[in-house]
Chains A and B, each alone.
Chain A
């Protein structure tokens, strides 16, 4: 590696440590810098400065009330799915309600609701879903409808973003998920999802949401047709809005999944690219508090390693997840709380169950996890200061 690259890396590292925003060129440099672990370790430094060893997760479940969608996103298995198509479904409000009824005894704190852009459903449908769920469990947080949906409602029902958001908020909406951002740059976005809310509209919806007092998340879809410059540009646009409003809680990079869609021939991003994206995300987005790994897409193993590359939040304990599973993700659908806490512990971190708004609900106290069999120690193994070996059972 040329010495000038090493020098440049150290300059950037200094800026990152001081919390100075990095430029587009600097972000791209970090993406291309061959020493992956140096970038990872820098991101880890920032992560530890912000959160120490704390690693967040929350207990939620997903509902996708309809998969009918008039958008034509090349990366999506639901693209242009018409109501009459055999794959298509639309739940009644009662059916949506039933999803929560089935889980009334579970310690779920959040429901994540995302839909396709259905051409025929009335606005009341979306409001009723929120009202019914809230009525059933007033304490539950509803994180619902992406900016793309909000934009779609505003156009379809002739309202401003703020009007849409205010009405939804009054019906029980707690925050907006970060989906639909895909990649902002026009060149790539036009190839991927021409016709759906563009970058300015997506950002405007989030601006409006922050203004009416809703916190939101943000995402980036990577691994399709975008360049590294376009990834960093995307991050910078999020950072700029955050500087204005402070309303983003979490950045979630979403790795493209290649099956059953029009982009199928592209290979999915793999381990090193995923880690680098988390790390660069952590370093570019100095003003967004959390970086989340969505393990359904990158796999639980890479997600564990990502905890050393800038990630402080894991999206786990997903009870039902339709969208990625139709696209052939082969990771398990759900992870138990015990497994998740163990995974975090084994990465040397401290698990914290959070609410949607990052209030602490539970912290790992280091108590033995229920299904770990560490039975009585054998006294002779205390020799030479060695740690005891548990007895194996037969």
Chain B
């Protein structure tokens, strides 16, 4: 395809904030301006107060700005630079409420008119406490002079340094937020008008932040102090400023910060809508952040740069014989191989790996212990936000009933998954697991990486420590959910507040290192490209090379009904079969492939056994998440066995780790479990 060279774009006009805490985000843009390929600067830098930054971006006076997150509520079309923010976890020092009287006695608050996020946060917190105060605006920097009697002031930015000694009561808003939510707070991030940022701009902004924190925190602190002194202003010790930059302010926008961000945007939008309670309609929960795209991973660029001619038949022959194919070859197969040829190669590979002609399945029950979730994934129709009247946490007696039924039906395992419920701490899971092991002979295939990360974050523990404690309490293995597409470009679009690719992989790595087994999954149909798909496969394969802990891989198409993800992609069974066949060929080190009949129906499940799969998955005595989005298939063990036989295989029951269940332990399925099926 011919390409015309686009004209060299003008530098982006970027508006930053003068405050000390913003300097690490743009110092490098001024000192060593990043250049584009033509040697032109990528940015033209100006500075303003936080509220003015947002206004300039809104007015088109700049292309990128460091905006208060509160401003994002009015401009959800802005694209945010991933990974970079100004935030805190607990004390922030430079956002304080100062007063001569205790908080509960304050009657009037003078807000700083440079502030957006901090003002809104304060209003949210006081309104939730039921404290009625009068609000008025003060010009930036003048609020503290108006503090007297029951009049307090919100002071933000550099003016807040050193105020602690000057007032009887100083409330740090970072602390107030953390006490209330246990979450970090995010004050500002880089936002841009849609389409303005290229991956080069995003990289430059991330790189500038990284370099500042690695090398220049002291220099920034010194420069700042020197300016203050030169202007005849009082200044603190240089080390105080450097510590502030290095320790107090958090410049990342990783999962935990994003959870704090989601929580704030949610509470703030509720306040502005004049609603006190959480809406039960998740469709009204519009909390969202749209991230700008980042640069493609180096190995993808390398794969794309390969000029050697590829040949479908040759690659398929090698893959069918069990040889490893590389990223470029995988992408090529996805884009060029005939579906039947892919299927034939995958079937040959399946036969080489599983020559016995046996197809396995498991009898277990999917229990969703809570539907409360903080991440608000747009593709999910199951969750409710914290505080919703429709929220539930299954009580012990309900769990006991479900577990007893599972045992009675010959089930050997509980697949336990739920939302990210901030009320459930590690002890909840430990108790639950111990109780399960004491009372039932069921294995626990429990908690996807996303849940493990959430527990680690709310407890302030490492992932490894959480896993160790859960294992000690009785957790047997880890389900591979929450992977969706393991590529941040897609994740940022469909689940901006959820864990990143690397975080997901790291939980799996730690679990495997501790000797636990897990599965790996992929959900497609989010308008991902062949490259995202193959990168997903490649990440699973690399980790499997390292740990060998994945027992099986399962892929299924996204079920869009009723979710907030307004997109249409190819989720047809035809694409599913291609995907599964390619997975069999690319994931040469993952022993088993499961069909996903709950989303596609048993007919396609049966056919999929000829496209590389050797496992029919689970009887799925209960399933809530996918069925909420329109998939409603239920099967009994007898029906599963019939489909396996129809495809020409012998059915056999297994454990999670693919060891066989001795026939004596596997009573022939009684009447189907359909009487207990989840509400569709």
Cα A301 to Cα B304 in complex, Å, equals: 34
Set of chain A residues within 8 Å of B604, measured between Cβ atoms: 271, 301-302, 305
Minimum C-beta distance from B75 to chain A (A):
12
Minimum C-beta distance from B270 to chain A (A):
17
Set of chain B residues within 8 Å of A275, measured between Cβ atoms: 607
Given the interface pairs A346-B570, A378-B195, A379-B198, the reply to whether A384 lies near B340 with Cβ below 8 Å is no
A44: Cβ under 8 A from any B Cβ: yes
Interchain CB contact under 8 A, B304 and A37: no
A391: Cβ under 8 A from any B Cβ: yes
Interface centre among A34, A347, A348, A379 (most CB of B within 10 A): A379
Set of chain A residues within 8 Å of B607, measured between Cβ atoms: 271-272, 275, 302, 305
Cα A68 to Cα B494 in complex, Å, equals: 54
Set of chain A residues within 8 Å of B102, measured between Cβ atoms: none
Interchain CB contact under 8 A, A37 and B646: no
Minimum C-beta distance from B578 to chain A (A):
9
B76: Cβ under 8 A from any A Cβ: yes
Interchain CB contact under 8 A, A373 and B603: no
- A298's nearest neighbour on chain B, judged by CB, is B603
Interface range, A side:
35 or more
Q: Which of B19-27, B293-301, B450-458 contacts A (4 or more CB under 8 A)?
A: B293-301
Partner of A302, one of B76, B292, B339, B603: B603
Set of chain A residues within 8 Å of B606, measured between Cβ atoms: 270-272
B221: Cβ under 8 A from any A Cβ: no
- A268's nearest neighbour on chain B, judged by CB, is B603
Set of chain A residues within 8 Å of B611, measured between Cβ atoms: 37
Interchain CB contact under 8 A, A392 and B493: yes
Set of chain A residues within 8 Å of B565, measured between Cβ atoms: 392
Minimum C-beta distance from A33 to chain B (A):
10
Partner of A301, one of B344, B528, B568, B601: B601
Interchain CB contact under 8 A, A384 and B304: yes
Interchain CB contact under 8 A, A34 and B573: no
Interchain CB contact under 8 A, A384 and B603: no
Set of chain B residues within 8 Å of A379, measured between Cβ atoms: 195, 198
Given the interface pairs A346-B572, A378-B195, A389-B489, the reply to whether A301 lies near B646 with Cβ below 8 Å is no
Given the interface pairs A274-B603, A389-B489, the reply to whether A383 lies near B646 with Cβ below 8 Å is no
A381: Cβ under 8 A from any B Cβ: yes
A246: Cβ under 8 A from any B Cβ: no
Cα A273 to Cα B575 in complex, Å, equals: 21
Query: In the complex, which residues 255-298 of chain A have their Cβ closer than 8 Å to any Cβ of chain B?
Result: 267, 270-275, 298
Partner of A346, one of B202, B575, B601: B575
Interchain CB contact under 8 A, B610 and A272: yes
Interchain CB contact under 8 A, B76 and A385: no
Query: In the complex, which residues 271-301 of chain B have their Cβ closer than 8 Å to any Cβ of chain A?
Result: 286, 288, 290, 292-293, 295-296, 300-301
B655: Cβ under 8 A from any A Cβ: no
Write the residues of chain B forming the contact surface with A, with a CB cutoff of 8 angstroms: 76, 194-195, 197-199, 202, 286, 288, 290, 292-293, 295-296, 300-301, 304, 339-341, 343-344, 347, 378, 489-490, 493-494, 527-531, 564-568, 570, 572-575, 577, 600-607, 610-611, 642-643, 646-648
Could you write out 29 A-B pairs with CB less than 8 Å apart?
A36-B647, A37-B340, A41-B341, A270-B603, A270-B642, A270-B643, A271-B602, A271-B603, A272-B607, A272-B610, A299-B603, A301-B573, A302-B573, A302-B604, A347-B572, A348-B339, A372-B568, A374-B568, A379-B195, A380-B202, A380-B293, A386-B529, A387-B530, A389-B493, A392-B378, A392-B527, A392-B566, A392-B567, A394-B378
Give the 10 A-B CB pairs with smallest separation, nearest first.
Answer: A271-B603, A271-B606, A384-B296, A380-B293, A346-B572, A301-B573, A41-B340, A271-B607, A347-B574, A384-B301
